[in-house]
Structure 1
């Protein structure tokens, strides 16, 4: 088996060997080498204790050193190449940890062998190593074979592995999305049987795995695995709830399947790095996943076999906000995704009757910085199999976007303000600061959106007309 190995790894291996210590490249970098992918960061494990290898690492890492993981036996260093690129390494002493059943944080216990260290890793494809500098490949659990088959399997009994660290169940789902692998049946059965153990994992850790899954090349596969495993019932229950039972007498789409299609379509509508929605975009992907989560709560069976979901956009926005807050997403992500869910039906009225210029302005103004994402979510959500309807919808969206471009040439949508500011309103109406000034300002903003920019005298006349009519 041949390897193209980083020269820095071989150099570091020689430095450790000169001092009588073992060093091996482990985990993701080894897996990625076999997949012919380049890792940006290199993880090593060693027979040396941190106090023994710290001088070596400081000497090698002339451009940076850190020890935040010292209590776990981990030290890190960085070196900058001549071309300006950086190589970051982390070195950890062999481990044979003991886990508290009520916590996924191990009691750190140093081990004596590389094989023992590999046995405590999450999956066989991450339990391979390459000794440096002699380049001996170490694969005690058949990781290379599993990698070739695209299979996720734990090095030890999966129930023991997931009992030790339940977050590994989330990582299995994430690797389905990132690597396109399938979970081996015994491992999948263990996840289903042990989903309740995920309850001891912090919301932040769960969120981080969900984010990595959603930003992968195959987010749909990850979400489907999350639901099939039963993990979603605990960490994201609004998603499996989309699997509505369809009454044979009532007609509506399979909402879960529709959502999976919308995610695929939204990903396809992301742009290159210089476009308005560069891939991968977490906000758009979360909105695609959550845009219909209000449907189960709002489903009503109507006469004639029809089904309605009135106000599922507004209900879904509230549910979105609650779930993302529970997962400790940043407040701006919470706000943006909830607003996209709230607005995702807004465009549909345009298809029936093209809007006035004022309605177009309102759409752009209300969407704000989410305008490009909202249009992509709206396009992705149009999953009708009726070709004529699909073409009419796409044509209407194209037309609306062109009108926005045309209007933007005449006025700056991003800076739409009333033609009179707050100070002018107070002077003209003889008001002190207070709620009435806010009402007047809001009215003038509505007037501006309806009529476009007007001259100062016209704006003054409108303000006085509105005030007199109160």
Structure 2
């Protein structure tokens, strides 16, 4: 039988202080939600803590703030009946216990005052509905009406109420169920999983920002494919990321087949999750092949091709980010760049690696060259051990070449040794096409290894190039 009191969970002095404030006001108070769940999971308990009061959460927050040293910052949200206190490294959110009802076309509830039971009923999952009492009389007593503790032991995600009601009322909970299953390595209860499929179209009333927030958390988990497989299984994925589901399937013509690029993509995302915590690089892994669906063609002589899929995919990244209301700034441009260049190191690794090809790679990728190599290494999903070893060794050679070329030629974030102003001054030119031609010629000569990336060599090359263009050196 589960232990009834868990005072060790709430040893932090803040909980005793909240209990004292509650007793003085004559209200019952509880810590509920993620803090309680993560304590039982033996995870690092979160710094944002939810406190429920049977009465006014705002009044309790004000009382707690008055008892804390250093007059902490308190934010009151009267419309929502909530208040937030930031104290040292903690964020305490106070809310009055409430019951909720929903309109069909909105996930914003109609709220009324309620009991603790009402408040626990409105929680998304049993594992998030557990509460610990903070009042002195029953300090640390566990209230677990839905068997959340047992569900933690069984590692299942289950809703307190009938799942169809839970998901229809607030469809974001469908994404949250999948996210928790991914993060915690839990299984979604079968009835709950079926209810997600049945209510999938309700996801359309959820704001794009909320959906993306859950996508980020799935992508940042240790094995993101779990979440994307569940989204695929419940038919949510085509409603959110149709570009991904378009990659699914294997076609065969005249005995020639191509790989299933959807399942390949999920392998790549899992691979990259082992080597980087860069969210946007993980997005690049997820989207690196999206251009393959619209560019797929069959040719009798050469079989299946995906010509220019990287270029098409990079254009699709912008549309996808815009549709999901994701940032259209440097983060989006980084993902675009990774998708556009995703095959470059692979082509390099298959050929004899020349210095000029490496210089061009470093020139085009700039500071993102390391990220690009990480993406390409994650793209190795062959199950053939001999091929896998060969590809990994080839990438090691490319990486070594990048280091050697960079040390010698300083191509990363390339700035021409001779400026446009100097070209104008040397040949007494006004702004014109000729200046661009000379600058490009110097850049190409450096990238091809014809001249070193140094001022004197570039200056002499400029004079030669000017001579061939019939430009006269201006003498002052």
Matched, 1:237 2:242: yes
2:37 to 31, 34, 41: 31
Which whole-Å deviations, capped at 9, do the CAs of 1:73-110 have from their partners, x for residues lacking one? 21111223xxxxx2221111111123232221223322
What is the aligned residue count? 454
Q: Distance in 1 between matches of 2:468 and 2:201?
A: 60
- Asked whether the equivalents of residues 419 and 459 of structure 1 are also in contact (C-alpha less than 8 Å), the reply is no
Please, which of 85, 90, 106 is the counterpart of residue 87 of structure 1?
90
The whole-number CA distance in structure 2 between the counterparts of 1:69 and 1:240 is: 41
Match of residue 105 from structure 1: 108
1:217 and 1:262 map into 2 onto residues whose CA distance is 13
Q: Distance in 1 between matches of 2:433 and 2:35?
A: 61
Instruction: Note the C-alpha offset of 1:14.
Output: 2.0
Give the match for residue 307 of structure 1.
Answer: 304
> How far does the alpha carbon of each residue in 1:363-393 deviate from its partner, in whole angstroms, 9 at most, with x for none?
0121122111110111111222333332222
Gaps of 5+ in 2: 472-476
Please report how far the alpha carbon of residue 436 of structure 1 lies from its aligned counterpart in structure 2 after TM superposition.
4.8
Q: Which runs of 5+ in 1 are unaligned?
A: 81-85, 271-279
**C-alpha distance in 2, partners of 1:228/1:170?**
13
The Cα shift of 1:308 comes to 1.9
Residue 426 (structure 1) aligns with: 424
The question of 1:246 aligning with 2:251 is answered: yes
Check whether the contact 1:12–1:60 (CA below 8 A) recurs between aligned residues.
no
Q: Is contact 1:284-1:377 (8 Å) kept? A: yes
Separation of aligned partners in 1, 2:394 and 2:242: 35
Matches within 5 A, 1:289-328: 289-303=286-300, 306-328=303-325
Aligned Cα root-mean-square deviation (Å): 2.1
Indicate yes or no: 2:187 matched with 1:197: no
Larger Rg: 2
Find the aligned partners of 2:461 and 2:15 in 1 and give their Cα distance.
Answer: 70
Per the alignment, residue 352 of structure 2 pairs with 354
* TM-score (normalizing by structure 1): 0.91
8 Å contact 2:131–2:143 — kept in the other structure? yes
Residues 316-359 of structure 1 show CA distances to partners (whole Å, capped at 9, x for unaligned) of 11122211221122222211111111111011232343233222
1:304 Cα deviation from its structure 2 partner: 6.7
Q: Structure 1 residues 95, 439: CA separation in 2 closer, same or farther (over 3 Å shift)?
A: farther
In 1, Cα distance between equivalents of 2:300 and 2:412: 45
> Equivalent of 1:131, from 107, 130, 133?
133
Q: In the superposition, relative to structure 1, how do residues 441 and 131 fare at CA in structure 2: closer, same or farther (>3 Å)?
A: same
Matches within 5 A, 1:48-447: 48-61=55-68, 62=70, 64-67=72-75, 69-80=77-88, 86-111=89-114, 113-133=115-135, 134-247=139-252, 249-270=255-276, 280-303=277-300, 306-330=303-327, 331-433=329-431, 436-447=434-445
Contact 1:351 1:392 in 2 (8 A): no
What CA distance in whole angstroms lies between the structure 1 residues aligned with 2:229 and 2:162? 24
Q: TM-score, normalised by structure 2?
A: 0.90
Determine the C-alpha separation between the residues in 1 that align with 2:423 and 2:77. Answer: 59
Q: Distance in 2 between matches of 1:69 and 1:443?
A: 62
Corresponding residue number in structure 1 for 2:474: none
Q: 1:299, 1:307 within 8 Å by CA — same for their partners in 2? A: yes
SS state at 2:376 partner: helix
Task: Measure the CA separation in 2 of the matches of 1:342 and 1:220.
Answer: 23
Distance 1:433 1:182, change over 3 A: same
Q: Distance in 1 between matches of 2:218 and 2:80?
A: 26
Aligned-residue offset at 1:51:
4.6
Task: Provide the C-alpha distance between the structure 2 equivalents of 1:290 and 1:33, rounded to a whole number of angstroms.
Answer: 36
CA contact (8 A) 2:58 2:95 kept: no
CA distance in 2, matches of 1:434, 1:101: 63
